[in-house]
Amino acid sequence: MTQRLSEFPAVLVQVLGPTGVGKSRLALLLAQKFNAEVISADSMQVYRDFDIGTDKLPLSGRKGIPHHLIDVVGDCSQFNAARFLETAFAAAEAIRKRGKLPLVCGGTALYLRTMIRGLFPQSPSRVVNRRQLQKLAAQQGLDLLWRRLQAVDPEYGAGVNPRDGVRIMRALEIYYNHGAPPSQVFKQSRTPFQSYRFLRIGLTMERSLLYARIDARVERMLERGLLDEVCRLRRRYPPECPPFQALGYREIASYLDGECDWEETVERIKRHSRQLAKRQLTWFRREKDIHWFSLDQEEQVFDLLWTRLEELTHG
């Protein structure tokens, strides 16, 4: 491929998978081999100063490959899927103008999905909020909300588990605030990446090996000074700052507040990280357009990328 990528139809590669599986390393290899720049799809790495707990790749480890959407928020403002979509699209367009390949790497599944499926328009008013629905579920049971969802949107409700409180309450929020069933609202979704062609690479491994990698990574973060980082950040930022809710930060905050001892804190971080990986895998397995590989299949990934890029840019 001797022509600049900007001369071809827009193509974007996603490298995704559960936490701790090795996405950043593969993304670097692909960026070097395919003349790409990396766009981070991590909801917490956008926050400046929160470095060890979010496992940011240091500048020295990026091998000269430009990385975007890291350290872009210097305050405690909320960074959501809408902001990600806007800034990621601007980054991808700029990368293409430089004749390079946009390569998105991360584990925030919602961000990765919205690039393809888009977001529906926000409601101009807030009739019902999540806290009200949580209170109602606590008082009268989640089953009441699930049955209400079945009544207002049987099409969407048919695919929602009666125990999935997050999806039930989110769907009812949409219904009451938009005045229409979620299944109709979702059809209004729009994405600026509509003209892009996506190639999705997923990394996975046997569950016990992944969990061992996660535990080892937690130990490395602690050795690098995660406890000191949290102490320093608590002096600088208020407790409601969004990244304090991220894995590692919230558990250590509980330790500093005297809610648990150090041994329990470390175990909580590891356990919660493993649980996150399980949830991510469950989400990604529902996506049918992902090509799955293990860490030792780098050459197969390279071959797939060469073949698919040729097809997507010339097909």
Region 132-157 average pLDDT: 92
Alpha helices, H only, 158-248 = 165-178, 182-185, 207-224, 226-236
Task: Give the separation between CA 312 and CA 315, rounded to whole angstroms.
Answer: 5
Does residue 313 surpass a pLDDT of 90? no
Q: Which of these three, 147, 163, 188, is where a domain ends?
A: 188
pLDDT at 1: 44
pTM score, two decimals? 0.84
Max avg pLDDT among 4-18, 69-83, 151-165:
69-83
pLDDT at 192: 93
Decide if 69 is inside a domain: yes
Decide if 251 is inside a domain: yes
Region 210-217 average pLDDT: 98
CATH of the domain at 147: 1.10.20.140
Decide if 124 is inside a domain: no
Q: Which of these three, 188, 205, 231, is where a domain ends?
A: 188
Same domain, 144 and 230: no
Does residue 113 surpass a pLDDT of 80? yes
Same domain, 198 and 257: yes
Range in 64-73, 124-133, 183-192, 211-220 the model is least confident about: 124-133
Task: Give the separation between CA 90 and CA 76, rounded to whole angstroms.
Answer: 22
Q: How many CB atoms lie within 10 A of CB 21?
A: 24
Q: Which of these three, 143, 161, 188, is where a domain ends?
A: 188
Domain coverage including residue 169: 130-188
Task: Please list, in sequence order, all residues whose beta carbon lies within 8 angstroms of the beta carbon of residue 261, skipping any fewer than 6 positions away.
Answer: 255
pLDDT at 7: 53
Decide if 125 is inside a domain: no
